[in-house]
A and B are shown apart, each in its own frame.
Chain A
């Protein structure tokens, strides 16, 4: 992905894929790349470098909006979704398994160079949590909220802030597909007024709030704020665990490219979506975890070679996110490269005749720089 001129065969983004084999690594080195563990809970270090399969129905439910574009194309081409098990993801899973949910939520920040697999690691963690039955709050890319927004409305709830109905309604729709059953179980604890006539009583299921937001697009961002507040207040009771997964969290602190009608620039605090998300990411609630990813590709006004948390978040963001667990993600190790290469060969993605030879493999490794 780093070299545009040389996209040849390594143009596809790949996830960790484990192919199924219940077997012995020493005997058949070819077929080792796949493993049959389709439950992320059982992934251990033995499975590192192998690819596991996610059935397509699950993909539609769990990831309505989270996967990177390249990976979605790959799923379409190969007709299956295979994600590789890698060390950063295993680390996070181990921490999640051992964490104490009575304490305030722990923050994990995944960072690394461009194209090394941060979003895929996040998706792996999201899949694990949804398998375990957690409530997943997945924000696919916070950069979409601070740039290229066509409609900005003045918020009815708070005069200074600006609303983004389009992005909020899209997010609410995807939230509904991924977390259907929780929306019936969680009840609101306060009465909310949407405008002069409509209101939601206390004790109604959250599904109604979400439907309200989808039906009345003008109040969609307020609906989202309500949903987030309710979930946060109820998570410490312990009836469900909450995972906040945000991709591109450096968009929340920094500058936006949006302007008001009088051409004055908008800072992120003035956007309702960003304000609410910042409240979620502060760790004053307990009963879950916050996993975030830094992203240079969508970030505004930052150097293209910046990838460390301090550079991308800026001082404000770094202070706000302060006690966090940093998790670096690197390019493929030789073993992971081998397994990826084996998978592509098997799926006939590497079509060139010379790609099967040793020379071809060495060349692919060099040209792609072992970058996923």
Chain B
């Protein structure tokens, strides 16, 4: 029996489900020819089942759902999602407290939106260049190599989560620690940013081996 891990068992004639509400609300006349053909195809061809993570809510965000999936342990999505929402709430509370106590001129500089903070912190943590092990002539060298976007995002999220899981006092809760880390990363401080800089320095130091790369 073969379990589908990276490929799917669907017949290729199945189409992807369309989740955005706006595309269904446009009246027929405004659509172009291709779009009209596509709509007709959808009425006839079978459609794949929508995965539970895909939602048509205005409040959903693909990065947040990826992050929650990475935080999940042994399939406990309910717990991971509640932790995520508690983290966002904690960030919002801390920023709002600062905002309401700050004098007028500083109020505009304080960023309160937890989604914006989350995205910016992730962007600040993404490394630009990575290292990979290449074996040549019996020895393995650490060669600096460009990373794809997906890999950068994955590394940033992975570093954040491992950092929160390991370097904390036994009694601090995950949302608290995560909110602290995200706020530090937002201001370009904190251990995750340090790890990114260490990686960059290693890559810079091993510049000489860059020509080992063949892709």
A277 CA to B132 CA in the complex, in Å?
Answer: 71
Interface size on A, residues (CB 8 A): 24
Contact pick for B59, options A4, A79, A347, A354, CB 8 Å = A354
Contact pick for B92, options A6, A349, A354, A367, CB 8 Å = A349
A78 CA to B97 CA in the complex, in Å?
Answer: 7
Q: How far is the CB of B89 from chain A (nearest CB, A)?
A: 5
Q: Is the CB of A94 closer than 8 A to any CB of chain B?
A: no
Q: Is the CB of A357 closer than 8 A to any CB of chain B?
A: yes
A81 CA to B93 CA in the complex, in Å?
Answer: 15
Closest to A367 in B: B57
Q: Is the CB of A8 within 8 A of B85?
A: yes
Q: Is the CB of A7 within 8 A of B85?
A: yes
> Hey, what's the 0/1 contact readout for B53-77 against A, CB within 8 Å counting as 1?
0000111000000000000000000
Q: A7-B86, A349-B92, A351-B113 are contacts. A363–B58 as well, Cβ < 8 Å?
A: yes
Contact pick for B97, options A5, A76, A354, A363, CB 8 Å = A76
Scan residues 47-103 of chain A and give those whose CB is less than 8 A from a CB of chain B.
Answer: 73, 76-79
Chain B residues in 8 Å Cβ range of A353:
113, 115
> Hey, what's the 0/1 contact readout for A6-46 against B, CB within 8 Å counting as 1?
11100100000000000000000000000000000000000
Q: Is the CB of A363 within 8 A of B59?
A: yes
Q: A78-B100, A348-B112, A360-B59 are contacts. A4–B92 as well, Cβ < 8 Å?
A: no
Chain B residues in 8 Å Cβ range of A357:
58
Chain A residues in 8 Å Cβ range of B57:
363, 367
Chain B residues in 8 Å Cβ range of A198:
none
Q: Is the CB of A11 within 8 A of B115?
A: no
Chain A residues in 8 Å Cβ range of B82:
4-5, 7
Chain B residues in 8 Å Cβ range of A4:
78, 82
A-B contact pairs, 30 of them (CB 8 A): A4-B78, A4-B82, A5-B81, A5-B85, A7-B82, A7-B85, A7-B86, A8-B85, A11-B89, A76-B93, A77-B96, A78-B100, A79-B100, A79-B101, A347-B96, A348-B96, A351-B92, A351-B112, A351-B114, A351-B115, A352-B59, A352-B113, A352-B115, A353-B115, A354-B58, A355-B59, A357-B58, A359-B58, A360-B59, A363-B59
Shortest 7 CB-CB distances between A and B: which pairs? A354-B58, A351-B113, A7-B85, A79-B100, A77-B93, A77-B96, A5-B81
* Apart from the given pairs A5-B82, A77-B96, A363-B58, 11 other A-B contacts in the complex at a CB distance below 8 Å: A7-B82, A77-B93, A77-B97, A78-B100, A79-B100, A347-B96, A351-B112, A352-B113, A355-B59, A360-B58, A360-B59
